[in-house]
Every structure is written in structure tokens, then in C-alpha cells.
Amino acid sequence: MGDSIGDRIRALRKQSELTLDKLAEQAGLSKSYLWELENKDPPRPSAEKLAGIAKALETTVDYLIGTDPKIDLQSAADKAFFREYQRMSPQMKAKIKQVAKLLDK
């Protein structure tokens, strides 16, 4: 993957088979703004906008901005999932644990 935020966003978007329109919808942003992030070198986007993009792409803001050189795509996806897991109700966490046990067998 490339070094810029735009390169990372584009690569993840294509890997997820999302169009600019679909990612914009999921991230709560405009298509033109995402296009600029991917293709130009605008000022660094706000944390709120990056958080929306990261959530839609199932990754972390740290991965998108490249602040942690040790983080790879898989560990970023794991961290994003764990953050979502932490916000779940106890009932949903119990269901996920049951599914994990079934898959581990």
C-alpha cells in the first residue's frame, strides 16, 4: 500500500469493493471530499472525518494516517472490531462468544 492517507483509503476501498459513492454514504461524507482525499494532497482531514472513514473501512485511524509503523492491515481490523465489541450489549457479546466457540471446534 502507498504512504499517504489517500493511498491507504483508496486501497482499502477497492479491497472492500466499495465505490466512492458507497464509502461516502457509509462514512457520512461527500463523494467529492473522498475523491480529493484519494487524489490530491489536501490538508489533514479532521479526526471525526477520519473516524467515519476508518469505521466504514473496518480499520483504525492510526492505520489510515500511518502513525504506527508496526500496525498492519490485519491488526488494524482486529483493533477496529474490538472497539466495536466493547460497545456491544452483554447479550450481544455472549452471542459472539458462542459463535467463536462453535467456529473453534
The runs of H, that is alpha helices, within the chain are 5-15, 20-27, 31-39, 47-56, 61-65, 73-87, 90-104
End-to-end distance of the chain based on CA atoms, in angstroms?
A: 35
Tens digits of per-residue pLDDT, 1-30? 457 889 889 989 998 999 999 999 999 999
| Residues 71-80: tens digit of each pLDDT | 677 777 777 7
Residue with cell 499517504: 4
pTM: 0.68
CATH label of the domain that carries residue 31: 1.10.260.40
Domain that holds residue 47: 5-104
Total domains in the fold of the chain: 1
